Structures are given as C-alpha cells and as structure tokens.
Amino acid sequence: MSASFPSDSVGLVTPQIATFESPLALACGKTLERFELIYETYGTLSAERNNAVLVCHALSGHHHAAGYHSADERKPGWWDAYIGPGKAIDTDRFFVVSLNNLGGCHGSTGPCSLNPETGRQWGPTFPVMTVADWVHSQARLADRLGIERFAAVVGGSLGGMQAMQWSIAYPERVANVAVIAATPRLSAQNIAFNEVARQAIRSDPDFHDGWYAEHEAIPKLGLKLARMIGHITYLSEHSMGSRFGRDLRSDQLNFGYDVEFQVESYLRHQGDTFSTRFDANTYLLMTKALDYFDPAGQHGGDLAAALAPVACPYLVVSFTTDWRFAPARSRELVNALLRAGKSVSYVNVDSPHGHDAFLLPNDHYEAVFGSFMRRIHVELSGEAA
Amino acid sequence: MRADLELIYDWVPEHARILDLGCGDGTLLAALAKHKNVSGYGLEIDPEGITACLGKGVNVLEQNLDDGLGNFDDDACDLVIMTQALQALRRPDVMLDEMLRVAPECIIAFPNFAYWKHRLHLTLRGRMPVSRSLPHAWYDTPNIHLSTFRDFANLCRDKGVTIVDQAVGSADHEGHWSSRLWPNLFGETAIFRVRRGR
C-alpha cells in the first residue's frame, strides 16, 4: 500500500480525537464545558519531548495537513508541500501536530456538534471563537500529548496569527515561531471582504438564521458566493491573468449571463465545491476570529508593547504579490518586533501566486523555511548532546 | 573570514547590539554572537545570503539599504557595521547620517578607489579599473559611488563626524608598512570607525 505514496510523503495518516472534560473559558464570556479536538501527528516525538512542531491552519483549513487518509485519496493534506521526510518541516526530525480548531467543521467541537445542554446542534449558538481561545485549546492538546514546549509553532494566514498568539500567551512554551503570509491585524479592507462573505451566507434563504441543519437545508448559494469572493483575494491579478486571461469557454460571445469567461467557470466551480464541504456557521465564525485578532488592541494600538512577552525567535515570511495580507502587513509585525528588541528574521518571497503562495511549492520559500527549521533541529541536537 | 571582517571583529566590543548592513551569509554576526555575546540583526537582499543567515541562527531582514533604516529607532543599537556596500548605495552620505542616528558609532569598509593598482590601471590603460576588489565592468557594476580613503575622511570632516579609528586592508590579510604610511595609496580596502559628533 505505502509504495503508492511519494517517498517524501508522510504516507497514510489517521486522525485522532482528544476529549477534554474540564471547562474552557472563552474570550466572549461563555464557557465550553467539554470539547473534542481532532488532530493528526507526523514523525516521532523524541525521548526528550522537545521536537514537537505545532501547525496551525488557516480560514478553511483543518487537521489534515500532510499525507493521505487512504490509498485512493486524490490530494494529500493542505501543507504537504512543506511537511514530510526531507521537506521544510522535516518529519524525520520533528514530531508534527496539526489539529482542527474549535468551531471547525472537520471533527473538532463546532457548530455541527451537539450542545450537551440542549441536546440540539449548536448551530448559530456556538460561541464565537477568538485566536486566543484557539491557542488555549491547543495548549490543552499539548498537555495531553506530553509536550511542555514546542520546538516551533508555525502557520500561514490565520494560522500565522495563532503562532503569534502562542508567543504572546505562552512564551515559555514555544521555542520558535514562523508567521507566514499573515498580519498583526486585519485592515478595514480585509474586514470588508469578510463582511461581504458573511452577508452572502446570512442572506441566503436556506440559511434559516443558522438553523439550516434543522430545516434540512444548506445555504449553498451563500457559501458559494462567500468562497468566490474569498478566492479572488487569495489569488493575484497576475496569477488569474496568466491562468485564465480573457479566455472564453466557447469560441464566441453569447450576449447572455451564463458562464462565458474561463475565470467565471473556475470561480463558480470553486464555490460549488466549497459549498458542499464546508459548514456555513463555521465559515462565519472563522471570519469573525480573523476580524477580532488584534493583539495591539489591548495596548492602545502599540504592537511592540503587545509583543513584549515574546521570548523566542520569529521568522516572518510574506509574498510579493499577496494583496490580502500584503508584505507591508508583515513588515508592521517585523518592525514592532524590532522595536521590542526581539529576535526576528524577515523574508519577502518573490511569487506570482498572491496569498495562496504560502501553500504552494516555491524554491526560495522552501529554502528559507527549511533553513530556519534545520537550525532549530541542530540546536535541539546540541541540547540533547 | 574575509580580511576586513577580521579587523572589524576585533573592533567590536562584547555584548554590543549590532546592525550589520549587507550582512552577506552572516559569518561576521554569527562569529560575534558566538564569541563576543553580541546580539543584533543583519540586513541583506541576496536570497542565498538570507538562507545562509537563517541556517546560522543569525537574525536577518530582507531589506534594501536604499530604502533607508526608517524602521529602526534612534539609538536602536550600539554599533552599525557596513562592509562593501557604501559604494553601491544611491546616497552614501545620507546613509552615513542614518547609521549615526541608529547608533552612536559605526564601522564602514569599502574599496579604496585610490589604491595604487587602480591608479595604475587608469593611468596606463586609460580604462576604468577592474580588479580583485572591483571585479565589474563599468557598465554593469553595482558600485555607483566609488570613493577613496581620503574622500571618506573628508566627508566625515564635513559632516562633523569623528573618526575614531581607520585602517586599510588587502584581500590577503597582511598589512604592509607602506599602507600605514600612505593608506590612500596602498590600501585596497578602507575601514573607518566613526562616532557621532566631534
């Protein structure tokens, strides 16, 4: 079986579920009395338990970051390009932990789970989560796995925000942080795009104020529109242009409103696929977590003050054509770390792929990320010796 | 380590907070961190240099020196080092001001255009010198502001910057008595240690 997987793949992986019975207090004031987290691990935890790397996922991500769930799975996990034997996050060296965040729709407790108090699905009553809440829940998972301190916490986009939050909330529990294609806070434009996505979902007649499951409906149209608008912000003008240009599906204009341009067909397809595999309430919740993230907010807008607790080196990576979280947003974070006197490295990787670049193979990105991770491993080996 | 870097290494005090402009593969910062407990950052734009720095655990920032040092506060560090970059900057004089804003002291090394071999090359052949320290042709050189040992000393004087130390080096380590006597003529690389104000 395993022979059918590429040699630099972690191969067949099986998700696990951890159940937590002690309550988790949330930023919104509510408390989750019990919750489950679904997660995967790749590689082996060392005897010293010091080689664990936590991978945090982005808006529509989940625990399945690398490898395959079955021999027939068409595509590997979402960050397979960077997790595996010999890859940037080398599973021959590191023990990688990847989970689905609370509020997700891939197996961790979320809007689709049953609320034990009501016996009904949580639906729209599931508490709105924050990045800080997620980090607290991830710390519980680390406790469960016997990981006192992560060798690194890494993530792209919303995942990068979680890595940032780890270094602020648990500075003693993280030895390195990599924040990729992220931002220390969303701009008005970012929030605006999220709001359009939310309105698309909430105004879908099949949304039923979030109780669509009880009406045996799915707000497909809303989810589709939300994904279409989101997807535009993940790509660059250049990558869309080079991929689709003004190409038509047929060889002539039809003077109608059906799909004519290839880019329309692509976006509709992306939207359709997404609308059947992602939960609307989770999407709403995840976009809110994005909007709310602002560590500087509690420090009068002073990001350097917010980062004062940080006690580990940062790697910050941006991509030249990313306009969702542009390089300037990463530099805001870098400059705040400089002002706070923290260890930080910054690389602006040349890529035509916009925000999505953090998921895609790229030699320079692979080289800098891999170099950063290898140095971590060399230092761990030094500690052990 | 390169000859000019070895000299600079000796000049750096222990526990200094350093900014290395054009830090290359991070050799100097890594050695200083290891043996002199120095902390700091390197600025570099070469992708291979950046990757090498990350591998050494050197803090490296991808930042073009021509964009200035605006992201560093006044007196953000104790010492700014810049080797083999001055001559490639759009405004070396502005950079000197910036360096002395960010730190009270800085060390600058650059190829001395008045080196006797360069003079000979220009005099005898009538062409722009091409040498070990200036390997490019005139049309594709990144070195757009070539200067001499004496030019830089004059710039410091005009700006009211104090020269604490000065030296010249050659690519093959050993200093020669002649370079101490006539640095502008016999120094291949000029190295200055300067301090803010008189």
pLDDT in tens, B89-116: 999 999 999 999 999 999 999 999 989 9
pLDDT, position B178 = 61
- Marked catalytic residue, from A157, A167, A239, A318: A157
Of A138-142, A277-281, A302-306, B134-138, which range is least confident? B134-138
**Chain B residues close to A364, C-beta within 8 Å:** 47, 51
E strands, B22-77, where?
A: 39-44, 60-62
**Cβ–Cβ of B47/A338 closer than 8 Å?**
no
Pairing of β A89-90 and β A83-84: parallel
pLDDT digits (tens, 9 = 90+) for A161-174: 999 999 999 999 99
Length of chain B: 198
**Chain B residues close to A338, C-beta within 8 Å:** 41, 71-72, 76
Assess whether A137 carries a catalytic annotation.
no
* Cβ neighbours of residue B62 closer than 8 Å, sequence gap 6 or more: A346, A347, A348, B44, B45, B50
Asked if B61 has any chain A CB less than 8 Å from its own CB, the reply is yes
**Cβ–Cβ of B59/A379 closer than 8 Å?**
no
pLDDT, position A169 = 98
Of A17-31, B119-133, B174-188, which range is least confident? B174-188
Assess whether A157 carries a catalytic annotation.
yes
Asked if B53 has any chain A CB less than 8 Å from its own CB, the reply is yes
How many whole angstroms separate alpha carbon B67 and alpha carbon A261? 41
E strands, A190-332, where?
A: 314-319
Q: Are A177 and A369 in contact (CB under 8 A)?
A: no
pLDDT digits (tens, 9 = 90+) for A133-157: 999 999 999 999 999 999 999 999 9
Q: Who among A344, A346, A371 is closest to B51 (CB)?
A: A371
Asked if B51 has any chain A CB less than 8 Å from its own CB, the reply is yes
Q: Pull the structure tokens for residue B67.
A: 């964009």
In angstroms, the Cα distances linking B193 to A65, A279, A334, B155, B166 are: 51, 63, 29, 13, 6
**Cβ–Cβ of B59/A344 closer than 8 Å?**
yes
Q: Who among A334, A335, A371 is closest to B54 (CB)?
A: A371
Closest B-chain CA to A373: B55
Asked if B56 has any chain A CB less than 8 Å from its own CB, the reply is yes
**Chain A residues close to B71, C-beta within 8 Å:** 331, 334-335, 338
What 3-state DSSP class applies to A115?
Answer: strand
Residue B155 burial by Cβ neighbours in a 10 Å radius (0-12, 13-18, 19+): middle
State the nearest Cα–Cα gap between B42 and chain A, in angstroms.
Answer: 9
pLDDT digits (tens, 9 = 90+) for B64-83: 999 999 999 999 999 999 99
State the nearest Cα–Cα gap between B11 and chain A, in angstroms.
Answer: 23
Chain A and chain B share a number of CB contacts under 8 A equal to: 50
pLDDT, position A280 = 98
B133 or B85, greater pLDDT: B85
Residue B185 burial by Cβ neighbours in a 10 Å radius (0-12, 13-18, 19+): middle
Asked if B45 has any chain A CB less than 8 Å from its own CB, the reply is no
Nearest to A167 by CA among A346, A331, A319, A344: A344
In angstroms, the Cα distances linking B36 to A285, B11, B57, B60 are: 50, 11, 15, 18
Strand partners, B112: B147
Residue type, A182: A
Q: Is residue B173 predicted with pLDDT exceeding 60?
A: no
State the nearest Cα–Cα gap between A343 and chain B, in angstroms.
Answer: 6
Assess whether A355 carries a catalytic annotation.
yes
pLDDT digits (tens, 9 = 90+) for A70-100: 999 989 999 999 999 999 999 999 999 999 9
pLDDT, position A286 = 97
pLDDT digits (tens, 9 = 90+) for A326-355: 999 999 999 999 999 999 999 999 999 999
Nearest to A342 by CA among A305, A313, A318, A369: A313
How many whole angstroms separate alpha carbon B99 and alpha carbon B117? 31
Helix, strand counts (H, E) of chain B: 8, 7
**Cβ–Cβ of A338/B76 closer than 8 Å?**
yes
Asked if B135 has any chain A CB less than 8 Å from its own CB, the reply is no
Q: Pull the structure tokens for residue A239.
A: 């990558």
pLDDT more than 70, % of chain A: 98
Mean pLDDT over A105-133 rounds to 97
How many whole angstroms separate alpha carbon A79 and alpha carbon A98? 10
Q: Who among A335, A338, A348 is closest to B62 (CB)?
A: A348
Q: Are B131 and B113 in contact (CB under 8 A)?
A: no
Taken in order A123, A129, A134, A140, the sign of the CA dihedral is: negative
In angstroms, the Cα distances linking A166 to A103, A182, A377, A379 are: 19, 14, 20, 21
- Marked catalytic residue, from A133, A204, A294, A322: A322
Asked if A302 has any chain B CB less than 8 Å from its own CB, the reply is no
pLDDT digits (tens, 9 = 90+) for A194-231: 999 999 999 999 999 999 999 999 999 999 999 999 99
E strands, chain A, where?
A: 16-20, 24-25, 31-32, 35-42, 52-56, 83-84, 89-90, 95-99, 114-115, 120-121, 152-156, 177-180, 314-319, 344-349
Indicate the pLDDT class of residue A107, thresholds 50, 70 and 90.
very high
**Chain A residues close to B52, C-beta within 8 Å:** 371
Asked if B50 has any chain A CB less than 8 Å from its own CB, the reply is yes
Asked if A320 has any chain B CB less than 8 Å from its own CB, the reply is no
What predicted TM-score, i.e. pTM, was given to this entire model?
Answer: 0.95
pLDDT, position A2 = 47
Indicate the pLDDT class of residue B131, thresholds 50, 70 and 90.
confident
CA dihedral A156, A277, A236, A336 (to 10 degrees): -20
Q: What is the mean pLDDT of chain B?
A: 92
**Cβ–Cβ of B59/A313 closer than 8 Å?**
yes
Mean pLDDT over B106-127 rounds to 92
State the nearest Cα–Cα gap between B148 and chain A, in angstroms.
Answer: 34
